[in-house]
Each structure stands twice: as C-alpha cells, then as structure tokens.
Structure 1
Amino acid sequence: MTLRRVLTAAVVVVTSLVTVGAGAAAAATPSYSRYVALGDSYTSGPFIPFLRLDPIGCVRSTNNYPALLAATLHVSSYTDVSCGGADTTNMTNPQSVPLFGTNKPQFNALRADTDLVTVGIGGNDDSVFGNVVGTCPGLRDSDPHGAPCKAHFTVNGQDVLLASIAATQGKVAAVVQGIHQRSPHAKVLVIGYPRIAPPTGTCPDVLPFADGDYPYLDSIERALNAALSTAAGGGGATYVDTYTPSLGHDACAGSNAWIQGKNFNLFAAYPYHPLKAGMVGEAAIIARTLGVSRSVTSVAPTAPTAGVSTLTKLANALLKG
C-alpha cells in the first residue's frame, strides 16, 4: 500500500470515529424544547437581581434557577410562573400577591406539548416554612442553648410541623399527577429544598435560632425533602436532591453561602431565601440530573424589571405581611 493510500485510510478512520463520537455525545444529552417552571419563592428567587414585573408581587427573578436552566438547555420555549408564597393550591387556583397583582393558576402554563417541567413546592403548605422562620428566632432569648422552638411545636407529644409535612406529601403527589395529566409527555422534576442550617455549629448573627433548634430546623427540612422525594417517586417524577449537594453552602457558610440569613438585602435576597449563588448551584444540580454538563452562567433580563422605588414598596409590603 502506498503512503498516499495509508494516509487516506487513516483520515477515513479518524473521521468516522469523530462522527460516531459526536453522535454518541448528542444521543447521550437529551434535548428539551418547551420548558415550564412551577413553584414557590425558593424557585422564584425574591430580590435576586433583576425582578420581573409579571406580576412583581411574585418576586420572580431573571436569575433564578429556571432562567439559568432554560439558558443552559437552550430551550426554544420557556415559561416561569413560580411565585413567592405559593403553595400546592396555587397550581389550580389564582394567587393574590402584593401591589395589587394576581398570579394565574400555575397549571395554566402547561400544554400538551410541554416536554420539561420543574416544580418546587410544598414548603408553604400549612405555613410550615413561615412558621419556622417566623417563630423560632423570637423564642431564642427564652432558652438560647436549648430548643424552645421544638418545644413550641410539640403538642401533646406530637410535632405539629411534622404532621403537616406528612399531609404535604399527598398534596405534592396530586400536583405531580396534575402535571402528567396536562403534559403527558413531559419529563417532570420535583426540586427539593437546599440546606439552610449547618450540620454542626451555630451562627446566631445570621440564623438567630437557639442552639438546640439548629438540628430541629434541619430535621424539619429533611422531613420535607423526604416527603417530596416520596411524592415524586410514587408519581413517576424525578426528585432532584439539592440538600445533599449544598453541604457547605448553608446560611452560616459566609461567602460560600447559598442561602441568605435573617437580614434583608434589597439587591441580593429576601431573608432565609436563596442567593444568586444558590440559584446557580441548583441550576447546575438540575442540569446534571438531566445529563447535561454545560456550565451555568448568569442570564440577561428577558422581561421588564423593577426599579429601586418599586422594589422598596414591594419589600415594605412583604415585610408588613
């Protein structure tokens, strides 16, 4: 065989291998066209720049994990109807929000040709999340080294928050079923809640809980995530664990934190809610769950966003509420 024939044969072989490799990579990475995001404030991203106006009371950020995921997946259609304060009833019922707005039933966004749905819901049912962050800090001074919040929510030997979470599991299962009914061909992901409290230690200037209520807060969150996981698995959806990968990114983690502490930062996050870093981290976790390894970056606003005066009015309304 001449040198020319050898080189020609080598080029053919290499070209074939590259083509096969590219085809295999393409086949291994699923493609989605029509993505719908449902959820509460841990999805909407309150006060992460920049806030959309549709309606502004939902405090829906242009840099929340649905926006970042949509950009990462290069979907052709993307609809985010998540809304701060939403619970499972707001999948089928409208939700009143501050500054005279209304968020339509979130299920209205689902279509028969929707092929990807993420839903992050459950923490507001029976006001579990609101009860924890609204009650526990105020009890700290009564027993700073004990667990006064745990004692407060234990009635006749039963933890009322855990009882509520048990009921939430069925509600989220019904949400998953409702998604499948409206979008039967969609990949459905139930998104868990990221870690708020550290596994050990305390940071009362950031999380003003009594020492013994740190593990209590963590136990409530783990119970909620377990309920979501069970609801997802029983309904043919995929549960996305953001709690385990967020180890080292809790509210006490300083510059590594994914969660804002007690202080309200008008241009970063609402108290006890995800920061932009948390949204980037969650988007990456979700992308990996879908088999996508592209890096996640910030996205430019795609809708009108709120100015400082409007943000201030909204913040005041939320804090009064």
Structure 2
Amino acid sequence: MISPGSRYVALGSSFAAGPGIDPIVHAPAGRSGNNYAHLVAAELGLELTDVTYSGATTAHVLDTRQDEAAPQLDAVTADTALVTITVGGNDLEYVGTFIRGSFLNTLAKPATILGRRVANRIRARVSYLKDEAAYQAVADSLVTVVENVRERSPGARILLVDYLSLVGPSTRPRLDVPLNEEQLPSVAMMADGLAAAFAKAAATTGVELIAASAASQDHAIGSAEPWTTGFTLRPPSLGGVVPYHPNAAGMRAVADLVVRTLRR
C-alpha cells in the first residue's frame, strides 16, 4: 500500500489526461482535474505530479518535448513512490485513425450524390491496418519507459494502465460510430494489439498491469453505460465531447481499478 503523503507521478497521453472532462486544469495538455490520477491521489491522499498530455507518444514521455512541456520522465525523481503509465496509442495513431475514419465516412455519406466511386475514394483515405512490428515497437517503448522510471526511482511502484475499450460487444455502426461493418473490426483489432503490447511490456518488466481494456469491454460505445465517448463534430465548448475518449464515468472506473490494486 502506498502511504498517504507519498509522491505520485502520472505519465501518459489523452486517455490519462482526460480532455473534455471538467474541470480542465491545464488547457494545452487537455488535462482534467477529474482524470484517474487526480481521483486516485484524492482518495489515497497522495502528492500528485500530473504531467499527462493529450497527443503524447512514448517519445514525449522519454526524451522529446511536447509544445512547451519537458519530457514527462523529468517529473520522476528519487522520492517518487508511485508512477502510472498510459501511453502508446498515439504511436499507433489509434484514436487518430478512428477519428479520421469517422470524419471521412461522415463526409462520404452526402458525397454519394456524386457517385459511389467518389464516396469510396473518400473512405479509402484511411488505413486501419498495422503490422506486428508496429505493436512490438510500442511494447518495446513501454519497456524502455519502465526501465527509465526504475533508474530514476528504484523504489517506486509502477503500474502500466492500458486504454479503455472504445469497441465492445454492443458497438455497432451508427451515428456516433460512423464506420462500416468492415472498418469497425479493424479498429477493434488495433485496440487488441495495443492491449497486447501493454501485457507484453508488463510481463517483460515484471510491473503490474491495470487491464482497463478488459474491464471496460461491456462499457464500450453503444453499451448501456459507456465509459468512452462516441463521434461528434460538435466541440465541448458547444455542448459536444472529445470523440473516442474516456468520459467522467470511465475515468472513475479506471481510478477504482488503480485504487483496488494499490490496496491489495
């Protein structure tokens, strides 16, 4: 168990930062005061340093600046007791592919008045397929992140927290998931590859894995209680959401998974 007052550093991309979830405490990063790191820190009384940043890749965690932000690993110091890591999806352009495909399908629908060939050309501008080497590269990068965290803080408890599921048993092509029956399984395959990369990295390094992907299968888009948002062209400022990202319920669920693991 991590003692109250211990230092906790949260690393990761938008699935950790929480864009679109009020309150936003750092606009450039899309970082929410109700992301899972903040919820965990509040429940356990931890001293949080949250450097999660929307759009971050594993390179931004390791050694590359993002906008004006230093590499996220700079926040990990010798006195850090807990580190959570949720990153790698942007290395694969996972959510970006889902969003681009949905956007182009939305454009292609009215374009059918110009002919099916024109509409299909619009849809075909997105590739949903990644080779095995891409997933292995994410696993390798996650291993490198863990190794660097250990080097900076040998006593820290490290949790790899993978991505909430966007596609599950209840997900079907519809207004807020404007992909067809061929595209949707490809997105699901990409999610499976990302989850497998986290599992492989956890097994290689011996750190604990929070399998949010598995825990959220029945809470994907289209379920009765989704933990992620669907597609929309309406921004949060106009009453919309950030497409294909955790919602407040999803962040609460991930926080609960982390807390349960830490209390074991």
TM-aligned CA distance change 1:46 to 1:201, over 3 Å = closer
- 1:237 to partner: Cα distance: 1.5
1:296-315 equivalences under 5 Å are: none
**Which of residues 243, 261, 275 in structure 1 aligns to 2:247?**
275
Q: After TM superposition, where is structure 1 displaced by more than 6 Å over at least 4 residues in a row?
A: 148-151
Which runs of 5 or more residues in structure 2 are unaligned? 110-115
User: For residue 104 of structure 1, what is the aligned residue in structure 2?
Assistant: 70
1:46 equivalent in alignment to 2:16:
no
1:250 equivalent in alignment to 2:220:
yes
User: For residue 35 of structure 1, what is the aligned residue in structure 2?
Assistant: 8
- Decide whether the 8 Å contact of 2:167 with 2:188 is kept in 1: yes
User: For residue 208 of structure 2, what is the aligned residue in structure 1?
Assistant: 238
Greater CA radius of gyration, 1 or 2?
1
- Decide whether the 8 Å contact of 1:268 with 1:276 is kept in 2: no
User: For residue 61 of structure 1, what is the aligned residue in structure 2?
Assistant: 32
Task: Give CA-to-partner distance per residue, 1:39-58, whole Å, 9 cap, x none.
Answer: 000000002101113xx210
1:259-270 equivalences under 5 Å are: 259-263=228-232, 264-266=235-237, 269-270=241-242
User: For residue 140 of structure 2, what is the aligned residue in structure 1?
Assistant: 170
Distance (Å, rounded) in 2 between the aligned partners of 1:287 and 1:150: 43
Distance (Å, rounded) in 2 between the aligned partners of 1:128 and 1:109: 26
Distance (Å, rounded) in 1 between the aligned partners of 2:240 and 2:73: 29
TM-score by length of 1: 0.71
Sequence identity percentage? 31
Distance (Å, rounded) in 1 between the aligned partners of 2:219 and 2:240: 16
Query: Over aligned residues, Cα RMSD in angstroms?
Result: 2.5
Aligned residues: 248
TM-score by length of 2: 0.85
Distance (Å, rounded) in 1 between the aligned partners of 2:260 and 2:144: 26
1:72 equivalent in alignment to 2:46:
no
- Decide whether the 8 Å contact of 2:88 with 2:142 is kept in 1: yes
- 1:229 to partner: Cα distance: 1.3
Distance (Å, rounded) in 2 between the aligned partners of 1:111 and 1:151: 44
The one-letter amino acid of 1:64's match is N
SS in 1 for 2:28: helix
SS in 1 for 2:146: helix
